[in-house]
Amino acid sequence: MRWIRLVIVILPALFLSSAAQIARALDRTQIVLVVNRNVPEGEQLAQFYAKARNIPPNHIVSVSLPAAEEISFQQYERDVAPPIRAFLLRNHLDEQTTCLVTFYGMPLRIGSRQLTADDRKEVEQLKRDMVQLRPKISPVVDQLEDVARSLDPSFNPVRQDDLDALARRADQALQVVGSHLPAVQDPQRRAELIGRIVQVMQALGGVSNIAERFGASELKNPNLPDEQREKWKLMIQQVQQGREEAQRLQWMRYDPQARDKSREMAPGLFGLLGYARLLEGQLEYFQTTETVAALDSELSLLWWGYYNRSRWVRNPLNFKFEVAGAPKTLMVMRLDGPQSGTARDIIVSSLKAERDGLSGKVVIDSRGIPRIKDGRLDGYGEYDQTLRDLSEIIRTKTSLKQVLDTHADVLAANTVQDVAIYCGWYSLQHYVPACSFVPGAVGYHIASLELVTLHQAKGSGWVRGLLEDGIAATMGAVAEPYLVAFPPADEFFPLLFTGKLTLAEVYWKTQLTSSWMISMIGDPLYNPYKNHPALKVEDLPDPLRKAVIGLESQPQSADIQASGPTGR
């Protein structure tokens, strides 16, 4: 699994950003509903859901798209992300919104990235620019390390010259300088060192870095002459305007003129490192390998600028990851079904189960694959083990009734009645109705391509079959996802059982990937075990407990379980 590659255009603390996202329990005010204005049934569903969950009336955004299950990469870039972003900014919802909900009529999938002849010419120019830029960065980092070494002779950095390493080297040198410079007593030497440091910092990080590091402290200096104070104020104002323009241009990444303008601005505003990151990001934007994605998964990165669209990025919301420097990442859920009425049923049954409590059997359909095969870790066996571990948690820590099957074949049709929870595999694009589900049931089948289509009558995938048989929350892949795309069963369901998290939080805290193949269908606010937890937080496996740390003491919004339709 590859790590995310970010274009760090704004360098707030050091050359390597370390900002972390702050978790907050999901409530109705943080949700925005996304509909296709060309599919009236979807708009009606959004209105129905908004009333059922008391979503504020100005939290519905409509986009104009074909009534199709797939749109092109370019359509997503121009016709989906920009209008949603503009709506959130215009309505001052950008800060508070943490979850988007797509509705019946919104496409499922974004097609593969295709390059035009002009795109290919731009790629070649970007490569040439990068080749010319790299040799300019290393000598400047060397100068900063020379300053650090003059203050601390024991400083002996590892010399590596890729971009990440150069940024780390600059960061480490600045840390040495910051810890030793206060001890320099000679005013002349101190001034000379500061002059060299500022010169290098501006070369590497641009005027933005200087304003960020020194602007606030200078303005707090009561002895600063008025003329200098005004200069600092003007610089800070200009940098802020430049940053806002740079962000706007990144969000217009589909526009060649915007990309060109970004390249013009970057060297002065963000320095050599910022410019190099921009070139790197634009090159990655043109990647075409494995760029098909679920629209919902791509939307989670609505606020990101340039990022590699080939395969996936690590989901910064996952409880196991601490993704330094990641822009804000959104939870995205879907209220959809083979027919619009199916999606309406999801809303109604979720409210009913949340009110009355979800009761029924747990069905785990493992394949019995050993984790270790021929002395080596088996990928299929490793995931299958998460189902068996889930079964053990249920057996030892809950009073839930379960049916565990460890045979290679899936359970036969009509095997288990009154099922509340289901997880199993593997029957590719051939749904087997093994379970009869209670209202509000949650479950998914681990298999490829089960959400390639949802609305075509000929579709025989598990997502369609489960929804038609009454399940209220499920997930599936719009193309080949690899096993890494599915949340581990022994993480997803135990978190759900605690009743501490909504469905959206459970999914996004256990989903490993963004910008990839899986969509989660269900009411994001659904919390079937809120009033009757099936598992104590202290009984969660360590370190899964950290996924709910800090949430237990937060007051639940009274509007999460709002009045609404109660019958199915």
Are 404 and 538 contained in the same domain?
yes
Cα–chain center distance at 130: 28
Are 256 and 172 contained in the same domain?
yes
CA distance linking residue 319 with residue 3, whole number of Å: 16
Count other Cβ atoms within 10 Å, centred on residue 39: 19
What pLDDT does residue 129 have?
Answer: 97
Asked whether residue 568 carries a pLDDT value surpassing 80, the answer given is no
How would residue 24 be classed by pLDDT, with cut points 50, 70 and 90? Answer: low
Per-residue 3-state assignment (H helix, E strand, C coil) for 440-490: EEEEEECCCCCCCCCCCCCCCCHHHHHHHCCCCEEEEECCCCCHHHCCCHH
What pLDDT does residue 213 have?
Answer: 80
- Cα 438–439–443 angle (5° rounding)? 70
CA distance linking residue 307 with residue 330, whole number of Å: 15
The set of residues, in sequence order, having a beta carbon less than 8 Å from that of 20 and lying 6+ positions away, is 322, 324
What pLDDT does residue 224 have?
Answer: 79
The set of residues, in sequence order, having a beta carbon less than 8 Å from that of 339 and lying 6+ positions away, is none
Asked whether residue 154 carries a pLDDT value surpassing 60, the answer given is yes
Are 419 and 521 contained in the same domain?
yes
For residue 270, the one-letter residue type is F
CA distance linking residue 520 with residue 254, whole number of Å: 27
CA distance linking residue 24 with residue 30, whole number of Å: 10
Are 360 and 501 contained in the same domain?
yes
Of 2-11, 107-116, 376-385, the range with the lowest mean pLDDT is: 2-11
Are 403 and 269 contained in the same domain?
no
Q: What is the pLDDT of residues 197-243, one digit of tens each?
A: 989 999 999 999 888 888 777 788 888 788 888 888 898 999 999 99
Residue 294 lies in a domain: no
Give how far Cα 560 sits from Cα of 26, 35, 50, Å: 9, 21, 12
Are 259 and 359 contained in the same domain?
no
What pLDDT does residue 215 have?
Answer: 78
Checking DSSP bridges between strand 513-514 and strand 313-314, what pairing results, if any? antiparallel
What pLDDT does residue 551 have?
Answer: 55
Q: What is the pLDDT of residues 419-475, one digit of tens each?
A: 999 999 999 999 999 999 999 999 999 999 999 999 987 778 999 999 999 999 999
Q: Average of pLDDT values for 518-523?
A: 98
Asked whether residue 19 carries a pLDDT value surpassing 80, the answer given is no
Nearest Cα to Cα of residue 429 among 381, 484, 479, 485: 479
Last residue of a domain, one of 281, 316, 333: 281
Are 253 and 380 contained in the same domain?
no
Q: What is the pLDDT of residues 411-425, one digit of tens each?
A: 999 999 999 999 999
Total domains in the chain come to 2
Rounded to a whole number of angstroms, the CA Rg of the chain reads 26
Are 141 and 270 contained in the same domain?
yes
What range defines the domain where residue 449 resides? 348-547
Residue 298 lies in a domain: no
Q: Average of pLDDT values for 141-156?
A: 93
Per-residue 3-state assignment (H helix, E strand, C coil) for 378-441: CHHHHHHHHHHHHHHHHHHHCCCCEEEECCCCCCCCCCEEEEEEEEECCCCCCCCCCEEEEEEE
CA distance linking residue 480 with residue 452, whole number of Å: 9
Q: Using CA of residue 169, residue 171, residue 172, residue 176, what is the dihedral sign?
A: positive
Last residue of a domain, one of 251, 281, 311: 281
Q: Which two tokens stand for residue 374?
A: 């021929």
Residue 346 three-state SS: helix
Q: Average of pLDDT values for 376-381?
A: 91
Higher pLDDT, 2 or 472: 472
Q: Average of pLDDT values for 241-251?
A: 95
Q: Look-up: residue for tokens 């998914």? A: 444
Are 356 and 505 contained in the same domain?
yes
Beta bridge partners of 521: 334, 474
Asked whether residue 15 carries a pLDDT value surpassing 80, the answer given is no
The crossing angle, in degrees rounded to 10, of helices 117-151 and 187-210 is 160
CATH of residue 460: 3.40.50
Task: Say how many Å lie between the first and final Cα of the chain, rounded.
Answer: 42
Residue 86 lies in a domain: no
Residue 401 lies in a domain: yes
Specify the length of the chain in residues: 568
Residue 264 lies in a domain: yes
Q: Average of pLDDT values for 531-557?
A: 78
**What pTM does this model have?**
0.88
Cα–chain center distance at 296: 10
Are 277 and 400 contained in the same domain?
no
Residue 64 lies in a domain: no
Higher pLDDT, 468 or 161: 468
Are 275 and 361 contained in the same domain?
no
Residue 28 lies in a domain: no
Residue 89 lies in a domain: no
pLDDT exceeding 90 applies to what percent of the chain? 78
Q: What is the pLDDT of residues 360-378, one digit of tens each?
A: 999 999 999 999 888 888 9
Q: Average of pLDDT values for 279-289?
A: 95
What pLDDT does residue 11 have?
Answer: 29
Asked whether residue 561 carries a pLDDT value surpassing 80, the answer given is no
What pLDDT does residue 550 have?
Answer: 62
Q: Average of pLDDT values for 136-145?
A: 94
Are 358 and 420 contacting, i.e. CB atoms less than 8 angstroms apart? yes
Q: Average of pLDDT values for 492-517?
A: 97
Asked whether residue 9 carries a pLDDT value surpassing 90, the answer given is no
Q: Average of pLDDT values for 164-183?
A: 91
Q: What is the pLDDT of residues 47-68, one digit of tens each?
A: 999 999 999 989 999 999 999 9
pLDDT exceeding 70 applies to what percent of the chain? 92
Mean predicted lDDT score pLDDT of the chain: 90
Nearest Cα to Cα of residue 336 among 471, 434, 448: 471
CA torsion 109-114-116-120 (nearest 10°) is 130
Q: Which two tokens stand for residue 389?
A: 């571990």
Are 399 and 259 contained in the same domain?
no
Q: What is the pLDDT of residues 486-499, one digit of tens each?
A: 999 999 999 999 99
Last residue of a domain, one of 261, 281, 301: 281
CA distance linking residue 548 with residue 495, whole number of Å: 8
How would residue 5 be classed by pLDDT, with cut points 50, 70 and 90? Answer: very low
